């Protein structure tokens, strides 16, 4: 049977997933603003010279505990949910694979263009791992969880192999900034992004992009992302988001595991972006990975209970619309980040503001984006980038105007 693949209509959406997607975007903004602001690359001596070091250290620890890696985990899980939702509706349609591959190829193009201006792009990796997900789409539902966990924790096994092969012989990089490179000093990185010359900024960004993809080797992120995609598929398969996430026992289990293992990882000072050299490093990584996925699931359960209890709360409506245009909002993070911090566009505050001030800017960006998204959906049915992506995927112009407006 080969019928025309139709786009998902509004009535088929699960409202909680849009709210959760909006919630994930909030955390992603706060995690990524460390890069746009320049604080991630700023030498510690310059960081201290900003004059708010004690408070900034406290805020950074809060960021590491509650935000870092947790919200991209939720975002990745939701990608798997979206895939499984479409697959379950189109499983008998031979045109689905071709349509979804085209959708992923277009996402790959968007991601590559995004990478051109910001090295921290995640869309490129999502598109590539989505193609792998498409290849293994026939994995039975009961095997989704074991395969998801195998892939998610596979980097730990790889790290053991690295430890016994070459990692011990690698030079140790002196931590002179939150992010250091072996071929470029923090001062040079900051100088590159502070440049008023477009080419200089692009060259610095390309340098960071190359090393970001190199860092996928020690972090094993491609395996983790694919594992999280499958985890999302499994959770949707068992109706986790509409049923099990509302159960107190799961909230309790994931809160205990998430807070416990994340706190332990902070105390152990895990460095998951580096190659492990000892068994203690391996243990650090394992503890971090358990805390990362557990705390992310705890957030999902907590939000599900709150939405159930306060379903009419205005903030959830705002988050829902923010999540409905998640691709536009995600790309908008970069636009506003570059606008505020890079001299080549406007204000040029790169590496000049404290973390506390930077967080206030993140809140301002968030408020502006939420206002835009809620005003947008008064007149339109899809976010602007989502609409273009959808039209290109189905090779037809889809009406965007909200007929109720």
Distance from CA of residue 18 to its chain's centroid? Answer: 15
pTM greater than 0.85 (yes/no): yes
In angstroms and rounded to an integer, the radius of gyration of the C-alpha atoms of the chain is: 21
Alpha carbon distance 292, 296 (integer Å): 6
Instruction: Write out pLDDT tens, residues 381-404.
Output: 999 999 999 999 999 999 999 876
Measured in degrees and rounded to the nearest 5, phi and psi for residue 380 equal -130, 160
pLDDT for 8: 52
CB atoms within 10 A of CB 405: 9
Instruction: Using pLDDT thresholds of 50, 70 and 90, give the confidence band for residue 3.
Output: very low
Q: Is the C-alpha dihedral spanning 351, 355, 360, 364 positive or negative? A: positive
The model's pLDDT over 25-75, given as tens digits with 9 standing for 90+, comes to 999 999 999 999 999 999 999 999 999 999 999 999 999 999 999 999 999
Alpha-carbon dihedral sign for residues 195, 196, 199, 202: positive
> Is residue 113 a contact partner of residue 327, using CB atoms and an 8 Å limit?
no
- In angstroms, the CA 66 to CA 351 distance is 23
Q: How far apart are CA 372 and CA 137, in angstroms?
A: 36
User: Which residue is associated with the tokens 């509650």?
Assistant: 66
Over residues 226-252, the pLDDT tens digits come to 999 999 999 999 999 999 999 999 999
Q: Is there a contact between 118 and 207 (Cβ–Cβ < 8 Å)? A: no
Is the predicted pLDDT of residue 6 greater than 60, yes or no? no
Q: Which residue has the tokens 């085209």?
A: 102
Measured CA to CA, the distance from residue 31 to residue 301 in angstroms comes to 21
Q: What is the pLDDT of residues 179-196, one digit of tens each?
A: 999 999 999 999 999 999
How many whole angstroms from its chain centre is CA 282?
24
Residue 305 phi/psi, 5° resolution? -65, -40
233 neighbors 144 (Cβ within 8 angstroms): yes
Tokens of 153: 């924790």
Distance CA 146, CA 388 (A): 36
Cβ-based neighbours of 184, under 8 Å, separated by 6 or more: 207
> In this structure, what are the phi and psi dihedrals at residue 118, rounded to the nearest 5 degrees?
-150, 120
Whether pLDDT at 9 is above 70: no
Question: Can you tell me the distance from the alpha carbon of 40 to that of 43, in angstroms, rounded to the nearest whole number?
Answer: 9
């Amino acid at each position: 049977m080969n019928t025309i693949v139709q786009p998902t209509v509004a009535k088929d959406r699960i409202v909680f997933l849009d709210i959760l997607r909006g919630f994930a975007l909030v955390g992603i903004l706060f995690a990524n603003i460390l890069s746009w602001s320049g604080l991630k690359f700023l030498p510690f001596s310059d960081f201290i010279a900003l004059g708010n070091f004690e408070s900034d250290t406290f805020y950074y620890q809060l960021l590491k505990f509650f935000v870092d890696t947790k919200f991209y985990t939720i975002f990745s899980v939701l990608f798997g949910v979206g895939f499984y939702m479409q697959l379950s509706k189109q499983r008998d349609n031979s045109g689905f694979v071709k349509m979804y591959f085209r959708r992923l190829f277009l996402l790959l193009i968007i991601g590559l263009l995004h990478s051109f201006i910001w090295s921290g792009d995640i869309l490129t990796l999502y598109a590539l791992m989505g193609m792998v997900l498409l290849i293994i789409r026939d994995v039975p539902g009961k095997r989704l969880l074991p395969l998801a966990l195998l892939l998610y924790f596979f980097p730990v096994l790889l790290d053991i192999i690295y430890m016994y092969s070459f990692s011990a012989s690698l030079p140790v990089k002196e931590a002179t900034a939150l992010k250091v490179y072996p071929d470029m000093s923090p001062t040079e990185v900051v100088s590159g992004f502070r440049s008023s010359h477009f080419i200089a900024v692009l060259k610095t960004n390309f340098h960071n992009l190359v090393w970001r993809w190199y860092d996928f080797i020690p972090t094993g992120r491609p395996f983790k992302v694919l594992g999280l995609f499958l985890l999302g598929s499994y959770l949707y398969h068992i109706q986790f988001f509409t049923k099990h996430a509302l159960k107190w026992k799961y909230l309790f289990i994931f809160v205990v595991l998430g807070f416990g293992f994340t706190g332990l990882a902070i105390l152990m000072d895990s460095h998951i972006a580096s190659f492990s050299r000892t068994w203690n490093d391996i243990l650090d990584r394992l503890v971090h990975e358990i805390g990362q996925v557990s705390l992310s699931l705890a957030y999902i359960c907590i939000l599900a209970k709150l939405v159930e209890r306060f379903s009419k709360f205005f903030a959830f409506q705002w988050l829902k619309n923010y999540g409905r245009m998640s691709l536009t909002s995600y790309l908008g993070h970069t636009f506003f980040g570059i606008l505020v911090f890079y001299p080549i566009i406007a204000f040029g505050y790169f590496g000049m503001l404290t973390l506390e001030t930077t967080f206030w800017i993140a809140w301002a960006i968030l408020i502006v984006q939420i206002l835009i998204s809620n005003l947008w959906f008064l007149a339109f049915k899809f976010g602007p980038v989502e609409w273009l992506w959808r039209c290109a995927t189905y090779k037809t112009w889809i009406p965007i105007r909200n007929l109720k407006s």
